[in-house]
């Protein structure tokens, strides 16, 4: 027997190839073994939704003496809006002592602090109805506000005291009051978030951020978004929102209908409305990327944008590797890319965040 053909896929995968004889298997058998691994790996990959995982943990904590807080994860009756937004830091001029002023002042004081000693206290206040549904990120409670900080390369979902759900992207921060008081519900966002706003006509919901504010008007869903750090935009998926930017005389107000994206150029105070496909934003919320015969390098750059990191493809020509299907982003960046690279001649080096040619 030709030494190349001494072993087969089953020998390789069950570890029956003796040391030193790893080369005695043909490339096609090796490839088939890889394909079988992928087939097994991709069958049965169900995951708990972040909200489900958190609700389940709450039940466990309640049944043990780990009861640190009581949480009500009631079914969401009606959502007013779903929205994806991305913003940088920036502050409006608000009249003093209004809830908005207090929120913006708090954001101004706390978000720019870089050093860890700026973080005041991590408390699990029993009166805190803000539900920490994230299992990874810190919710810092200071005065009357919770600040959620999502670490690099992570995504998070939280539930606000009114039942509004927010999905936050890597590197984002959200500030919201421990309890919504007064006539409005207001939150402050830096980064990217997808909002599913609970319907409450008496208490309109505002998302405040650098250069813009969004008021939730309708009774259905909407999404708004932004990805680039110096470019702000919002995308409405369902429902209705009012978007405003600028101060005083420069103030611009627009109402959006579903499927519209509004972008603002902060320098010139220009506002531009365009039609977009909302499916990608919904996919972002759900944590997957749909690919249709997309080359590997483009997919990798999409993943890098999702997680706000840079990934080097080291000058490799990846255009020949095309993928179709659904890529699950619930795991870490490294896991996602490694899964993607199975069956390609490449491997991902997590510590240097770059793609390399696999050594056989």
Partner 1 sequence: MSKEAYRDLWTSFINGDDGAMKLLYTEFADMLYSFGLRFTTDTELVKDAIQDLFVDLFKYHRTLAIEVNVKSYLFTSLKRKICLVLKKRAAEINQHFEIPFLLSGSMEEQIINDERQSELLGKLSRQLELLPSRQKEALYLRFNSELDYEEISAIMNVSLETCRTLVYRGIKQLRERMVVSHIYKILA
What residue ranges bind partner 1 (CB under 8 A)? 8-11, 13-16, 26, 28, 31-33, 35-48, 52-53, 56-57, 59-61, 63-66, 135-136, 291, 321-328, 330, 339-340, 343-344
Shortest distance, position 271 Cβ to partner 1, whole Å: 38
Gyration radius of the chain's alpha carbons: 24
Shortest distance, position 119 Cβ to partner 1, whole Å: 18
Residue 126 Ramachandran class (φ > 0 left, ψ -120 to 50 alpha, else beta): alpha
Closest to partner 1 by CB, 11 vs 200, is 11
- DSSP-based three-state secondary structure for 142: strand
- DSSP-based three-state secondary structure for 303: helix
Shortest distance, position 68 Cβ to partner 1, whole Å: 8
Shortest distance, position 61 Cβ to partner 1, whole Å: 8
Closest to partner 1 by CB, 31 vs 310, is 31
Closest to partner 1 by CB, 151 vs 325, is 325
C-alpha closest to that of 80 among 278, 236, 228: 236
Closest to partner 1 by CB, 26 vs 349, is 26
Q: Is 12 in contact with 30 (CB distance < 8 Å)? A: yes
Closest to partner 1 by CB, 268 vs 320, is 320
Task: For residues 138 and 125, give the distance between their C-alpha atoms in angstroms, rounded to a whole number.
Answer: 14
Shortest distance, position 39 Cβ to partner 1, whole Å: 4
- Return the bridge partners of 346, or none: 357
Contacts of 268 (CB under 8 A, 6+ apart): none
Closest to partner 1 by CB, 116 vs 320, is 320
C-alpha closest to that of 50 among 157, 154, 155: 157
Task: For residues 194 and 227, give the distance between their C-alpha atoms in angstroms, rounded to a whole number.
Answer: 12
Shortest distance, position 281 Cβ to partner 1, whole Å: 19
Closest to partner 1 by CB, 10 vs 230, is 10
Shortest distance, position 63 Cβ to partner 1, whole Å: 5
C-alpha closest to that of 215 among 225, 203, 231: 203
Exposure string for 101-124, b = 16+ CB within 10 A, e = fewer = ebbbebbeebbeeeeeeeeeeeee
């Amino acid at each position: 027997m030709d030494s190349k053909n001494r072993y087969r896929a089953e020998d390789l995968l069950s570890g029956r190839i003796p040391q030193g004889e790893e080369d005695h298997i043909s490339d096609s058998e090796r490839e088939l073994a890889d394909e079988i691994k992928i087939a097994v790996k991709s069958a049965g990959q169900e995951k708990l939704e972040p909200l489900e995982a958190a609700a389940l943990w709450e039940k466990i904590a309640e049944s043990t003496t780990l009861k640190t807080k009581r949480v009500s994860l009631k079914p969401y009756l009606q959502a007013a809006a779903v929205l994806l937004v991305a913003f940088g830091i920036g502050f409006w001029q608000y009249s003093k002592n209004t809830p908005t002023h207090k929120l913006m002042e708090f954001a101004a004081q706390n978000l720019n602090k870089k050093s860890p000693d700026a973080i005041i206290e991590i408390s699990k206040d029993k009166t805190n109805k803000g539900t920490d549904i994230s299992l990874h990120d810190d919710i810092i409670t200071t005065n009357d506000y919770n600040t959620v900080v999502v670490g690099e390369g992570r995504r998070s979902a939280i539930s606000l005291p009114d039942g509004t759900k927010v999905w936050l992207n890597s590197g984002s921060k959200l500030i919201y009051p421990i309890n919504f008081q007064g006539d409005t519900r207001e939150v402050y966002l830096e980064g990217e978030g997808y909002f599913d706003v609970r319907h409450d006509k008496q208490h309109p919901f505002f998302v405040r951020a650098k250069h813009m504010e969004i008021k939730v008007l309708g009774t259905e869903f909407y999404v708004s978004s932004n990805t680039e750090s110096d470019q702000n935009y919002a995308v409405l998926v369902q429902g209705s929102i009012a978007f405003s930017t600028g101060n005083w005389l420069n103030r611009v107000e627009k109402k959006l209908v579903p499927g519209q994206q509004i972008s603002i150029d902060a320098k010139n105070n220009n506002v531009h409305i365009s039609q977009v496909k909302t499916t990608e934003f919904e996919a972002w919320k759900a944590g997957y990327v749909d690919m249709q015969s997309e080359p590997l390098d483009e997919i990798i750059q999409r993943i890098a944008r999702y997680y706000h990191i840079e990934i080097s493809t080291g000058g490799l020509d990846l255009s020949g590797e095309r993928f179709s299907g659904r890529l699950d982003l619930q795991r870490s960046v490294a896991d996602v890319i490694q899964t993607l690279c199975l069956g390609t001649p490449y491997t991902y080096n997590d510590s240097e965040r770059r793609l390399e040619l696999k050594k056989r």
